Structure 1
């Protein structure tokens, strides 16, 4: 008799006093909160990977391929290493077809945060050697681009710092990655 009284007492209480409806509503409530947060992130954050003028970017790719071909014709190679103690980037630019005393623009692009990109202007000596101050690099897979001041040639590659202390960019390897 006591068991039937307890069963009947639970049937007379309102739904919001039971724990199961609240437990079942917890999942959809969590989805609503997560979806709201995702919408907030999408609206307040800028996507650095999207470009406004994709047609213009597509045309620029063809020009970049021409610059890679020019680098191949000049047999260009760029070897460089980062000296963490001296906070300096040292390297050598070599070519079989042109003198080495020139300006080289080196760009180290962070894979996810464009504000951490590094732009360097390097003046190579007659032997092609250079050294330039560089603040401490963050551990990342840096995308390295080297080009001359006239932007007629380009070398590219990926650098896994600090696993790789140096990088060798060669013209015939400039188009992979």
Structure 2
């Protein structure tokens, strides 16, 4: 064969047949590596630390609530979007003016909902929920300064069912 019949290297079909999977692999791996570096899972709501190959849960905030003798109930009213909470300190400790309610999604931190609960009278708090709740949630009540926390795993339905926190 002569040079006129073969043509330039980049016009050879077998070359592109061999290079196409390699080029596609480089492109896909670049996209996936970029996505894994840029995105953040942010799944864990509670305090965990990793030591070697084990994960250790930090219970200091839960233990602080237990030492204060804190317990309470939480109710959602989906018709009016109200949240009502009652908090009791068995040891007579003063209760905060405001509470932070975190309604945590089990797998996506971007779907967590934070609601500020204001004290109506001692031990009684109210707030407004702007979203509808679907699926299992982790309910975390804590003061604004995050000195302690009460946690409850909640399942639907959420309407008018009291969720109990602490030692009641």
Same fold by TM-score greater than 0.5: yes
Distance 1:109 1:130 in 2: 19
Larger strand share, 1 or 2: 2
Alpha-carbon shift at residue 116 of structure 1 (Å): 1.8
Return 5+ residue gaps in structure 2 as ranges: 1-27
Q: Pick from 105, 108, 127: which aligns with 2:103?
A: 108
Return the TM-score normalized by structure 2. Answer: 0.63
Return the TM-score normalized by structure 1. Answer: 0.60
Larger helix share, 1 or 2: 1
Partner of 1:140, secondary structure, is coil
Q: Pick from 99, 111, 115: which aligns with 1:120?
A: 115
| CA deviation string 1:71-117 (max 9, x = no partner) | 11111112111101001111211112212352211101111232221
| Count of residue correspondences | 133
Partner of 2:64, secondary structure, is helix
Contact 2:61–2:148 under 8 Å retained in 1:
yes
What residue number does 2:15 align with?
A: none
Contact 1:68–1:171 under 8 Å retained in 2:
no
State the structure with more CA Rg: 1
Note closer, same or farther for the CA distance 1:136–1:143 as it changes in structure 2 (3 Å cut): same
| CA deviation string 1:128-157 (max 9, x = no partner) | 111111023232111111111222211111
Return 5+ residue gaps in structure 1 as ranges: 1-36, 173-177
| CA deviation string 1:5-41 (max 9, x = no partner) | xxxxxxxxxxxxxxxxxxxxxxxxxxxxxxxx9x967
Alpha-carbon shift at residue 163 of structure 1 (Å): 5.9
Distance 1:151 1:63 in 2: 17
Distance 1:62 1:142 in 2: 22
